[in-house]
Amino acid sequence: MRTLGTLALYYYIIAVTFAIYYRLRDSGRIPELDEKKLMVVFGSGGHTTEMLLMLTKDNQFNFQKYGQVQFVIGHSDTWSLTKIKDYFSRGGTQIDWEKDVQIIKLFRSREVKQSYLTSILTTIVALLHSAWVVAKLRPDIVVTNGPGTAVPLCYIHFFFSKVLLWNLKAKILFIESFCRVTSLSLSGKLLLPIADKFVVHWNELKLKHPKVIVYKEKII
Amino acid sequence: MVERIKRCIIAVGSTYFDELIEALDNETFFTALKQAGFNRLLVQLGKGTYKPTTLPSLSSLDLQVEVKDFVVLDVLIYHADLVISHCGAGILLECLRSDHALCIAVVNDSLMGNHQSELADKLEEDGYIGASTPKKVLADVTRVLGEMKAGMKAFKKYPMKKEQVIVDLIDDLLIN
């Protein structure tokens, strides 16, 4: 127990030193978008459609603007991937799916109709997989509109960046689903405490949760 | 002069909604459609077990009836004049974003714990669509068809989307 405490102390002395060093080094300098990594977590079905509608203009999206664009989809969700590719090709954007965007197929904690016992095991595997993906890709922002897989991934992103101090400027943007008018989704409720910005579509939700953002204009 | 073809779509989505199909499978609905100048009716059944019989039997050159289990609806909705649908967020969005499709969303009570009537109710409250139930749908549709025939605008046009709001927010978060 004592050695663990000592280790943690050493870790934080080093981590804080680095954090201060980076803060001083970068003070007064405005970062460029092309040095930032954007991760979008797509869900299934309706979630994917909504996300595409919000991110694009005339089915187009500027991939080149960012240092790296990472699209996370469910491991078995071939529908979403087809939908995403279809959607962009309709806008006439020439995308090199090997180079312009990194596609990550995330192991899902629970497939439909899976038994309770095996779900525990697959949940652990899914958590480890999320941790590996986040540690490897180190996104500067995670954007999601609430599929179940996004919740553990966002918490891991939060843990690495804010608790282990890997990246104090890392962000989480959550956008609630268009069909949520009077109550938040389960993913929304779970991510509200750690999201840097939380966008909803309807004013009813803003009245209940003052922290959220609602735009006067339609965003979808 | 060539008259534009007027199209109506009944869509239940990926599940089933027999009560909706049953409620509209009759001559009253067919006649109302015809009187409002409709030329095509597409019925999408999903996994439903109730197969409409009256509507197909009335199908004529003036008003052709087509029944299908599944179809890709997005392009069809864009060219439709009236969509009678389940309360899925996807189809409602497509109707709102289409050129001129009026939409009547019907709440499917057999889907429990479903939040989607929440959206349909809200959109009706704001005047963008009509919300209905299988029991009321025939009366509601007939009323809307009557209003269309009289040249009245049954619902408000959904506001244009403000482009790039989320992308701007992302960029702002990234550089701050």
**Residue A125 in domain:** yes
pLDDT band for position A32 (cuts 50, 70, 90): very high
Domain extent for A170: 31-214
Cβ distance of A217 and B162 shorter than 8 Å = yes
Number of cross-chain residue pairs from A and B with Cβ atoms under 8 Å apart: 84
pLDDT band for position A211 (cuts 50, 70, 90): very high
pLDDT band for position A132 (cuts 50, 70, 90): very high
User: Average pLDDT, stretch B159-173?
Assistant: 95
User: Average pLDDT, stretch A157-186?
Assistant: 95
CA distance A179 to chain B (A): 5
> Mean pLDDT, chain B, as a whole number?
91
**Residue A135 in domain:** yes
- The pLDDT, as a whole number, for residue B129 is 96
How far is the CA of B54 from the CAs of A146, B31, B32, B51, B71, in angstroms?
Answer: 43, 12, 14, 10, 21
- The pLDDT, as a whole number, for residue B18 is 94
Residues 6+ positions from B6 with CB-CB distance below 8 Å: B36, B37, B38, B39, B40, B81
> Mean pLDDT, chain A, as a whole number?
91
Q: And the tokens for A71?
A: 């699209």
| Residues A36 and A24 both lie in one domain | no
Q: And the tokens for B20?
A: 């909706």
Whether the CA torsion B121, B125, B129, B132 is positive or negative: it is positive
Share of chain B above pLDDT 70, in %: 96
Q: Which residue has the higher pLDDT, A95 or A194?
A: A194
**Total domains in the fold of chain A:** 2
Spatial distance between the Cα atoms of B176 and B172, rounded to a whole number of angstroms: 6
- The pLDDT, as a whole number, for residue A112 is 62
- The pLDDT, as a whole number, for residue A109 is 65
| Residues A159 and A68 both lie in one domain | yes
Cβ distance of B89 and A46 shorter than 8 Å = yes
Which pairing describes strands A37-41 and A68-74: parallel, antiparallel, or unpaired?
parallel
| Residues A83 and A178 both lie in one domain | yes
**Residue A220 in domain:** no
Query: B80 with B16: CB under 8 angstroms?
Result: no
CB-nearest partner of A181 from B122, B163, B164:
B122
What residue segments make up the domains of chain B, in order of their start? 7-175
Is the per-residue pLDDT at B108 higher than 90?
A: no
Cβ distance of A180 and B170 shorter than 8 Å = no
- The pLDDT, as a whole number, for residue A149 is 85
**Residue A219 in domain:** no
Query: A76 with A111: CB under 8 angstroms?
Result: yes
- The pLDDT, as a whole number, for residue A76 is 80
H-only helix segments in A27-77: 45-55
What secondary structure, in 3-state letters, does A73-93 show? EECCCHHHHHHHHHHHHHCCC
Is the per-residue pLDDT at B1 higher than 60?
A: no
Spatial distance between the Cα atoms of B93 and A156, rounded to a whole number of angstroms: 33
- The pLDDT, as a whole number, for residue A117 is 82
Residues of B in contact with A48 (CB under 8 A): none
Spatial distance between the Cα atoms of A12 and A201, rounded to a whole number of angstroms: 40
User: Average pLDDT, stretch B78-102?
Assistant: 91
Whether the CA torsion A213, A61, B80, B84 is positive or negative: it is negative
- The pLDDT, as a whole number, for residue B2 is 61
Query: B82 with B104: CB under 8 angstroms?
Result: yes
User: Average pLDDT, stretch B150-159?
Assistant: 90
CA distance B153 to chain A (A): 22
CB-nearest partner of B175 from A31, A61, A215:
A31
| Residues A47 and A61 both lie in one domain | yes
CATH number at residue A176: 3.40.50.2000
Spatial distance between the Cα atoms of A81 and A87, rounded to a whole number of angstroms: 10
- The pLDDT, as a whole number, for residue A2 is 82
Report the residue of A143, A179, A214 to disrupt the B interface, i.e. the one with the largest count of B CBs within 10 Å. Answer: A179
User: Is the complex ipTM higher than 0.90?
Assistant: yes
Spatial distance between the Cα atoms of B18 and A164, rounded to a whole number of angstroms: 54
**Residue A158 in domain:** yes
Nearest Cα to Cα of residue A44 among A88, A126, A133, A106: A106
User: Which of A50-64, A89-103, A147-161 is predicted least confidently?
Assistant: A89-103
Q: Which residue has the higher pLDDT, B14 or A200?
A: A200
**Residue A12 in domain:** yes
Residues 6+ positions from A107 with CB-CB distance below 8 Å: A75, A122, A125, A126, A129
pLDDT band for position B126 (cuts 50, 70, 90): very high
Cβ distance of A140 and B165 shorter than 8 Å = no
Share of chain A above pLDDT 70, in %: 97
User: Average pLDDT, stretch A96-109?
Assistant: 87
**Residue A88 in domain:** yes
Is the per-residue pLDDT at B159 higher than 70?
A: yes
Q: Which B residues, 9 through 48, put their C-beta within 8 Å of a C-beta on chain A?
A: none
Query: B7-175 — its CATH code?
Result: 3.40.50.2000
Residues of A in contact with B171 (CB under 8 A): 33, 65
User: Average pLDDT, stretch B34-51?
Assistant: 94
Share of chain B above pLDDT 90, in %: 74
B158 touches chain A (CB under 8 A): yes
Helix or strand or coil: residue A6?
A: helix
- The pLDDT, as a whole number, for residue A99 is 87
Nearest Cα to Cα of residue B95 among B85, B103, B87: B103
Cβ distance of B118 and A33 shorter than 8 Å = no
User: Average pLDDT, stretch A17-28?
Assistant: 88
Spatial distance between the Cα atoms of B73 and B64, rounded to a whole number of angstroms: 18
| Residues A12 and A89 both lie in one domain | no
- The pLDDT, as a whole number, for residue B114 is 64
Residues 6+ positions from A42 with CB-CB distance below 8 Å: A48, A51, A71, A72, A73, A74, A77, A80, A84, A147
**How remote is the C-alpha of A163 from its chain's centroid?**
17
Instruction: Count Cβ atoms below 10 Å from residue A49 Cβ, excluding itself.
Output: 22
A179 touches chain B (CB under 8 A): yes
| Residues A21 and A84 both lie in one domain | no
Residues of A in contact with B170 (CB under 8 A): 38, 141, 143, 173
- The pLDDT, as a whole number, for residue A69 is 96
CB-nearest partner of A215 from B118, B162, B170:
B162
Report the residue of B75, B97, B118, B170 to disrupt the A interface, i.e. the one with the largest count of A CBs within 10 Å. Answer: B170
| Residues A118 and A185 both lie in one domain | yes
DSSP B23-89: HH-SHHHHHHHHHTT--EEEEE-TT-SPPP-HHHHH--SSSEEEEES----HHHHHT-SEEEE---H
| Residues A13 and A91 both lie in one domain | no
User: Average pLDDT, stretch B36-44?
Assistant: 96
